[in-house]
Amino acid sequence: MSDLVVGEAVSLDLRLARLPSRTLALLLDVVVQIAGLVALTLVAGHLLSAADDALAAAVQLLLIVAVLVGYPVLAETLWQGRTLGKAALGLRVVRDDGGSIRFRQALVRGLLAFFVDIWLTLGVGAIVSSTLSARGKRVGDVLAGTIVVRERTPTGSGPAPLMPAPLQAWAEGADLSGVDDALALAARQILGRRSQLAPQSYADLCLRIAGAVAGRVSPPPPDGTPPEAYLRAVVAERRRRAVRRGGQTGKDQPPAYQAAPVSTPAVPPHSLPGPPDPGAEVPQGGGFTVPG
């Protein structure tokens, strides 16, 4: 386990991917890349059979760079930090702040993998830098500001999250596909640290994270929904759907979530969506506000 400090200075636990799992994921990607390179070379050789040697050599070099650099860059950009090898091993590249990587980070990682970490150094650069780094980073991760984490974590045997009863019907019909694992992890761990934070700090964090979640969930919740209750509903519903996908639907299985009593207030009074306070910062993607 390792700590990830998000922008609000709250430490979140992450399961870092270490050298053995990253190496196996790389080997799977290498197999994919070699197969793709062979196929493209055969096609190019057929199309350029009448071309001179210089053109054929230039095209071959272009194909090598496109496969060795372009494949991981495009895959990690379009698939939220995953390649085929990483997906098979349950790994994912994220930014140091836990967010999804963008093209810039993927490009830096891809170029450094080619020139420093993997291909031109036969993997020596990656092995040395990952061994020396406390977080298992290779040179490309250091310069790109990224880290590789394990997405497949043990589910644990703690109590199921409480579903606020007034939000159960809304949550069951909500589209939660836009809430990625990193954002759900942040919401789940903030909710679990209510007793460790000052009430105002906890309320502010719930408001910020609820604003980020609201930008990825539709439809919006009922008017007057508190940010903490909103996050609990989203986390509990994601858990329920995960349990259902796993086939735990029998009567002998633990409940996917429990409904919180209607009369029990989830948080101190916050309003949602409500008119924003002119002096308050409203997080992008959400309409949560805290009355002054």
Find all residues with CB under 8 Å of 128, minimum gap 6, and list them: none
Could you give the number of structural domains in the chain? Answer: 2
pTM greater than 0.85: no
**Bridge partners for 91 per DSSP:** 150
Tell me, yes or no, whether 64 and 192 share the same domain. Answer: no
Question: Tokens at residue 28, please?
Answer: 């799977």
Tell me, yes or no, whether 167 and 79 share the same domain. Answer: no
Tell me, yes or no, whether 127 and 236 share the same domain. Answer: no
Residue-wise pLDDT tens digits, 28-60: 999 999 999 999 999 888 888 777 788 888 888
Of 150, 173, 200, the position where a domain reaches its end is: 150
Angle, in degrees to the nearest 10, between helices 53-65 and 19-47: 150
Query: Is residue 43 a part of any domain in this protein?
Result: yes
Query: Is residue 277 a part of any domain in this protein?
Result: no
Tell me, yes or no, whether 90 and 38 share the same domain. Answer: yes
Residue-wise pLDDT tens digits, 84-133: 999 999 999 988 877 789 999 999 999 999 999 999 999 999 999 999 98
Tell me, yes or no, whether 95 and 234 share the same domain. Answer: no
Tell me, yes or no, whether 68 and 142 share the same domain. Answer: yes
CB-based burial of residue 167 (10 Å sphere; 0-12 exposed, 13-18 middle, 19+ buried)? buried
The parent domain of residue 72 ranges over 2-150
Tell me, yes or no, whether 101 and 239 share the same domain. Answer: no
Query: Is residue 205 a part of any domain in this protein?
Result: yes
Query: Is residue 274 a part of any domain in this protein?
Result: no
- For all residues of the chain together, what is the average pLDDT? 78
Tell me, yes or no, whether 113 and 203 share the same domain. Answer: no
Tell me, yes or no, whether 141 and 172 share the same domain. Answer: no
Please choose, from the candidates 164, 194, 159, the residue with its C-alpha nearest in 3D space to the C-alpha of residue 261: 164
The three-class DSSP label of residue 90 is coil
Query: Is residue 146 a part of any domain in this protein?
Result: yes
- Spatial separation of the C-alpha atoms in residues 192 and 209, rounded to whole Å: 14
Query: Is residue 286 a part of any domain in this protein?
Result: no
Tell me, yes or no, whether 9 and 121 share the same domain. Answer: yes
